[in-house]
Amino acid sequence: MAQTQAVRKDWDTYFMDIAFMASTRSRCPRRHVGAVLVQGKKLLGTAYNGAPMGVPDCSEAGCMIVEEFEPSQDGGAMIKKQRCIRTIHAEQNLLLFTDRNDREGSTVYVTDQPCWTCANMLANSGVSEIVYHRFYPKDYEKVAALMQQRGIVFRRLEGYVPPPDTEVQDGSA
Ligand SMILES: [Zn+2]
Ligand SMILES: [Zn+2]
């Protein structure tokens, strides 16, 4: 990916890059998610998925795995999926560490499309726009419907390329 030096990054790319940088702080080997809060082009918070402070994280204690059944990506049969539930999701940490007043009318950039629980919380958090990059088919339809009902702009950053070395190599999580 050769980039012309003279080309200045647009704001979407700039803030999504910061979300991906934040995601590299995650110690869960299965999934690295980063999220940032932006108000009027001003960065007001960054977060990533992780265990609560002072509690052993996935790198120390191992992932806390649960098995769930969910529809396969083509909408066919249910398949068994393993999920790590040790971490607080990046979006939830972002809400825990930012102020309601700062969130009113703000934009959240998040590396991955929010899961249903995070989307539900974001819908009640004051944010007015959610921008994500990686698709998460499991919850897409209900999350998109929720955002539409709530009047929150919900869009995927297409054609975006994350900064080098910010993605987990094993994408099986
Ligand atoms: Zn984990
Ligand atoms: Zn989530």
> What single string gives the DSSP state of each residue in 45-75?
EEEE-BPPTTS--HHHH---EEEEEEE-TTS
Residues tagged active-site? 91
pLDDT tens sequence across 42-86: 999 999 999 999 999 999 999 999 998 887 767 678 889 899 999
pLDDT tens sequence across 7-54: 778 999 999 999 999 999 999 999 999 999 999 999 999 999 999 999
58 labelled ligand-binding: no
Domain boundaries defined on the chain: 11-49+88-156
Q: Which CATH superfamily is domain 11-49+88-156 in?
A: Cytidine Deaminase, domain 2 (3.40.140.10)
Alpha-helical (H) ranges within the chain are 11-23, 58-61, 90-96, 100-103, 116-123, 140-150
Closest ligand to Cα 28: 1
pLDDT tens sequence across 104-139: 999 999 999 999 999 999 999 999 999 999 998 888
Check residue 171 and give its pLDDT: 46
Rounded to the nearest angstrom, the distance between the alpha carbon of 173 and the centre of ligand 1 is 9
Predicted confidence (pLDDT) at residue 5 exceeds the cutoff of 50: yes
28 labelled ligand-binding: no
Average pLDDT, the chain: 92
Closest ligand to Cα 26: 1
pLDDT level of residue 100 (50, 70, 90 thresholds): very high
Check residue 69 and give its pLDDT: 86
Rounded to the nearest angstrom, the distance between the alpha carbon of 2 and the centre of ligand 2 is 33
